[in-house]
Amino acid sequence: MLFPDFNHLGLPEWLTIFAATGFVLILINYLLNYLPLSQMENTHLESAEVLEPVTVIICAKNEDDNLREYLPRILSQDYPEFEVVVVNDCSWDNSENVIDELAKQYSNLKKANIKEDAYYKHGKKFAMLVGIKAAKHKRLVFTDADCYPSSNQWLKEMVKGFSGEKEIVLGYGAYSKQNGFLNKLIRFDTFVIAVQYLSSAIKQKAYMGVGRNLAYNKDLFFKQKGFSNHYHITSGDDDLFVNQAANEHNVNICVANGAITYSKPKNTFRDWRLQKARHLTTAPLYSPMTKSRLAFMYFSQIFFYCSLFALFFSIETLLLVPILLLLKMSLQWITLYKASKILQERDLLMGSFFYELVLLLIYPIFHLSKLSFKTKQWTN
C-alpha cells in the first residue's frame, strides 16, 4: 500500500500522525506570526494634521566614511522641522571633522561628543542616553551611522505613526542587496525576523524593534527608566527597550516603501556570526511570553522536519514526504508573497524554502557563539 490504511495503529500510522502534527504546528506558526503583515490592505499611515518637530539620533563610533556618504540623506529629509543629533562616541578617525563640515551646510545638525575615559568603559547605550538627553524635541527617531533611508519621505512616514496614543513606531531596517549567497541569507534572516515582529505588533503583541529604524517618545524612555534593566549587556538598546515598553495600545508600525532604511550587511560568515551572537545575548531578558513565542516559532520548524525525516522509516509513508513538503512550500509562499512585496524583498521569495532550511541548520552555531561572546564594545 502507498498510504497507511489506519485499520490499526502500527508504525506507519503513528508516523503519519507525527507528520500531520508537524504540519499543523507549521500552519499555526505561519498563521500567527507571518500572515498578519501579509493581510495589511494599506501600508501607508494616515497623514497627521500637524507634523510635530522631531529629533533624529545617530550614534557613531569611527564612522567617517558612512557619515560622509549617508548623513546628508538624513539631513535633507522632506520634513518641516527636525534636528539630527549625532553622538560622536570616542572616535579616533575623522568622524568629528566630517560632522563639523556637514554642520556648516546643514543648520539642523547637532553634535554631541563623548571623550575617551581610561577608567570608564561604556557601550552604545551610554551614547544613546547622551543623544536622548541632547534632543530638544519630544519625538525621537533612531537609525545607525551606516544606514540610509529609501527616500526623503522616511522621516515623515515614521512620524505619522505617532497617532493617538501611539508612543512607539516600528520600521523595517533592511540590508542592501549585494552579490553572493551570504547576502541573500543575511537579508532573508532579517526579512523573516521583521515579518515576525511586525506581525506581532499588528496583533497588539509587539515584542521587539530594530535600532536601524525605530521611533519613540522621549518621555516614554524616561518613564521606563531607560536602559537600566539591561544596561549591563552590550545589545538591547532597541529590542529590549521595546520589549519592556510596548503594550497593547502604544505601538504602531510603518512599512511604507519610502520609510525603509538600508545598511551594509556583513561580508563574511565570521562577522555575521559574531553579529548574530551579540544580538542573541538579549534573548534571556525577554519577557516570558516573548520567549515562549520565539521558542514556538523555532520548535514548530524543527518538529516539522524531524517528522518528515521519520516518514522514511516506513515504505508506506514515503509518498507523504513530497506531499507535505509541497504543502509546506505552498503555505510559505502564500504567507510571504505579499510581505515580500511590502518590504521590498521580492527577490528572496524564490529561494525562501532553501534559505529557511539553511538558517535552521546554522542557528545552533550562533547560539553556541553567544555563550562565548564577551565584548564590551559596541558596533552597529
Q: Could you list the pLDDT tens digit for every one of the 380 residues in the chain?
A: 566 667 778 888 889 999 999 999 999 999 999 999 998 876 667 766 678 999 999 999 999 999 999 999 999 999 999 999 999 998 899 999 999 999 999 999 999 998 876 667 778 899 999 999 999 999 999 999 999 999 999 999 999 999 888 999 999 999 999 999 999 999 999 999 999 999 999 999 999 999 999 999 999 999 999 998 888 888 889 999 999 999 999 999 999 999 999 999 999 999 999 999 888 889 889 999 999 999 999 999 999 999 999 999 888 888 899 999 999 999 999 999 999 999 999 999 999 999 999 999 999 998 888 777 655 454 55
Beta carbons of 144 and 212 less than 8 angstroms apart? yes
Domains of the chain: 11-38+290-371 (no CATH), 54-265 (3.90.550.10)
Name the nearest CA neighbour of 308 among 325, 332, 283.
Answer: 325
Which amino acid is residue 268, in one-letter code? T
Rounded-to-integer distance, Cα 165 and Cα 104, Å: 37
Rounded-to-integer distance, Cα 304 and Cα 204, Å: 28
Q: Is 85 exposed, middle or buried (0-12, 13-18, 19+ CB in 10 A)?
A: buried
Name the nearest CA neighbour of 304 among 363, 366, 360.
Answer: 360
Mean pLDDT of the chain: 91
pLDDT, tens digit (0-9, with 9 covering 90-100), for 245-278? 999 999 999 999 999 999 999 999 999 999 998 8
Cell 529629509 locates to 77
**What is the pTM (predicted TM-score) of this model?**
0.91
Beta carbons of 57 and 132 less than 8 angstroms apart? yes
pLDDT at 10: 81
C-alpha cell at 217: 517618545
Cell 498563521 locates to 31
Beta carbons of 23 and 304 less than 8 angstroms apart? yes
Rounded-to-integer distance, Cα 84 and Cα 58, Å: 8
C-alpha cell at 112: 554631541
- C-beta contacts of 370-375 below 8 A and 24+ residues apart: 370/277, 370/280, 370/281, 372/277, 373/274, 373/277, 373/278, 373/281, 375/234, 375/278
Beta carbons of 99 and 111 less than 8 angstroms apart? yes
The share of the chain scoring above pLDDT 70, in percent, equals: 93
For residue 77, give the H/E element and its range.
none
pLDDT at 164: 83
pLDDT, tens digit (0-9, with 9 covering 90-100), for 282-319? 988 999 999 999 999 999 999 999 999 999 988 888 88
